[in-house]
Structure 1
Amino acid sequence: MRRIHVMAAVIRDAERRILIAKRPDDAHQGGLWEFPGGKLEPGESRLEALQRELHEELGITVQQARPLIDLQHNYPDKHIRLDVWEVSEFTGTAHGAEGQPVRWVTEHQLPSYAFPAANQPIVAAARLPQRYLITPDCAATEVLQGIEHAIDAGISLIQLRQTQLDIQDYEALCEQVLQRYGARATFMLKGDQPPADRRAGWHLTSRQLRAMCEQPPPTRPLPAERWLSASCHDAEELQMAERLGVDFAVLSPLLPTASHPEASPLGWEQAHAMLNNCRLPVYLLGGLTGDDLAAAHNAGAQGIAAIRGLWNQP
């Protein structure tokens, strides 16, 4: 079986817009939009290949880049590795050096463009931040203060957990949080049913995920325009999350944690092996802080999820 290693890039400008390019009409999946890149050549490092391809295709020189998501696809006659990096700094003016149309778009505009099906996890990864905050169990006033502090610190994806509350009190707090902060951050809510407020996404427990996948074929319980995520603890649950069509997953526990001392940690090596066979953006959870972001990226993760590691951090 042929093995093909393809580099691709989510390129951001100073305004955080993302560059996309249109495939030639006569090419495979012609007329669709894609993220620029090309094949890794023998003897090249991944970064060298990315720099060469983007210079040839767009006339830019990459200054700063990091791994974003690594996707594996098996076909009857070949194995494709789609190795996607985020480019945050470059020199030169990006243009279609090979005659291809290019366009700068915002994260919110990305879903309105037609991409190949294999690119959909990249679209999600490009729209998701590096940090996913999970709120701790505490009084409502402390939750509101902590969320305010987190948003001011640049955190834009927050799971409202609050396991100490009954259903009515939790729903009341969710409504208060969304009214106050819904325009400033994306909130993932918990519960037995999808959140009624369309501004919020739904985070599934691993038990909910398994229950939904027991009834074939698994059907995504939210429309595509709303975020759906799931907690996973092993490779089987990651595969279930893929089949259900979630937008991103959380894999835990990576390291020993005070909140779940009885859980057996995965460790970096095992987590990397699981992510290597996953076609979703995945956050690593368990004993991590912002200092672990680079290690998480190198392991193939979208970033980190945390309670203590991100709550009330400077």
Structure 2
Amino acid sequence: MSKPLVQVAIAILLHQGKVLVGWRHAEQHQGNKHEFPGGKVESGETTEHACRREVLEEVGIDITDWHAFDSIQFEYEDVIVHLHLFHGIVSDHQLSDIRVPWAWFKRAELQDLNFPKANQAILKRLYAPQVIKISEQITLLKTLAEQQMMYWRVPVSPEHLLNIAELSVEQLSRVIVNVSLWKELNPLQQQAIAAIHLKQSQLMQLRKGDLKVGQRYIAACHDTESAEHAQNIGCDAILLSPVLETLSHPNSDTLGWEQFSLIAQKIHIPIFALGGLQLADLAKAQSYGAYGIAGQRSI
């Protein structure tokens, strides 16, 4: 006897780097576990409309701007669930309308909560190491600390495609490549890669709906306009630079920590501070609103 297939809409609600989480009652399917807002898609209803309705009914707020985030199918002993994920931003004026027991958690804290097994892929997508190493040498991937990813900053070439082919799926899961190189990979490599990098010029050519559902995107931004655009089209994270003066660009204009903080206050997806930073600067960067840091020479 075949198992029933249930279509479910799930909302990933974001505010100032945190994610909204609730609790499933014991009598519910997969009860006594943490959960993201959402529920079954009703007949004649689109998945996005279901997501908006469920958030309004459960959480008490009406979010009108959604981004398709991922699509996951998971088989339990009694049912198959197809999760349609969307993420949206909660504004400051909506915070007071959020009902109990919904609460905000930092992304790193999500790993310690008791979610249903179907949500493990969501948690993996939401969490990212706090340090990004930038390098043109793929061999440095072997020396990375466990809490680091690498942005392999190289152009498209036959040699670089061969280098990618030599990496395992586990290694690819820690590598970021620019969208130009990503497009040349085979489907398995594209799926395994940690994130797709967008230069600011590439970012500003994209609009909402252009990003591939199920892929993590990290955009390079240098000002408020580009950072807000990255968030508005559904990017997962931002590399915001240059924070401080760098050896490679000694006379370039820098943001400084105060301007970095002003931009961070307007952005609800993770921001990695980039430019003139060392590992010892991680705590300072986070005090100004960064999720993590990125760098080339000193990371």
Please tell me the TM-score bracket, short chain as reference: 0.5 to 0.7
1:264 matches 2:253: yes
The Cα offsets for residues 193-249 of structure 1, whole Å up to 9 and x where unpaired, read as 634322113101001001114xxxx3232222x211110000000011012211111
| Contact 1:190–1:204 (8 Å) recurs in 2 | yes
- Counterpart residue identity of residue 178, structure 2: K
1:160 matches 2:160: no
Shift of 1:30: 2.3
1:249 matches 2:238: yes
- Once superposed, which parts of structure 1, at least 4 consecutive aligned residues long, lie more than 6 Å away? 5-11, 22-27, 76-80, 105-108
User: Among residues 20, 37, 40, which one is paired with 2:34 in the alignment?
Assistant: 20
Q: CA-atom RMSD, angstroms?
A: 4.0
1:307 matches 2:278: no
- Matched residue SS, 1:212: coil
1:206 matches 2:200: yes
Q: 2:129 maps to which residue?
A: 129
Shift of the 107–212 alpha-carbon distance from structure 1 to 2, 3 Å rule, reads same
Aligned identity (percent) is 22
Structure 2 CA distance for aligned equivalents of residues 189 and 282 of structure 1: 18
The Cα offsets for residues 155-205 of structure 1, whole Å up to 9 and x where unpaired, read as 442111135xx52222222222356823xx421111426343221131010
Q: 2:70 maps to which residue?
A: none
Shift of 1:79: 9.5
| Contact 2:243–2:275 (8 Å) recurs in 1 | yes
- Counterpart residue identity of residue 241, structure 2: S
- Matched residue SS, 1:294: helix
Shift of 1:274: 0.3
| Contact 2:18–2:104 (8 Å) recurs in 1 | yes
Number of matched pairs? 220
Instruction: Identify unmatched segments of 5+ residues in structure 1.
Output: 12-18, 33-70, 89-93, 95-101, 113-122, 138-142
Structure 2 CA distance for aligned equivalents of residues 31 and 274 of structure 1: 28
Q: 1:293 maps to which residue?
A: 282
Structure 1 CA distance for aligned equivalents of residues 160 and 229 of structure 2: 28
Shift of 1:85: 4.1
- Matched residue SS, 1:103: coil
1:103 matches 2:114: yes
Structure 2 CA distance for aligned equivalents of residues 263 and 158 of structure 1: 24
Q: 1:58 maps to which residue?
A: none
Aligned pairs (5 A) from 1:1-314:
20-21=34-35, 29-30=57-58, 73-75=91-93, 84-85=105-106, 103-104=114-115, 109=120, 111=122, 126-135=126-135, 137=136, 143-150=137-144, 153-163=145-155, 167-178=157-168, 181-182=171-172, 185-192=173-180, 194=183, 195-196=185-186, 197=189, 198-200=191-193, 201-213=195-207, 218-224=208-214, 226-310=215-299
Instruction: Identify unmatched segments of 5+ residues in structure 2.
Output: 1-14, 22-32, 40-53, 61-88
Structure 1 CA distance for aligned equivalents of residues 168 and 206 of structure 2: 27
Length-normalised TM-score, structure 1: 0.58
Structure 1 CA distance for aligned equivalents of residues 212 and 19 of structure 2: 29
Structure 2 CA distance for aligned equivalents of residues 177 and 24 of structure 1: 37
Shift of the 281–107 alpha-carbon distance from structure 1 to 2, 3 Å rule, reads farther
- With 20-29 and 229-238 compared, the bigger mean Cα shift is at 20-29
Shift of the 294–10 alpha-carbon distance from structure 1 to 2, 3 Å rule, reads farther
Q: 2:84 maps to which residue?
A: none
Shift of 1:256: 0.3
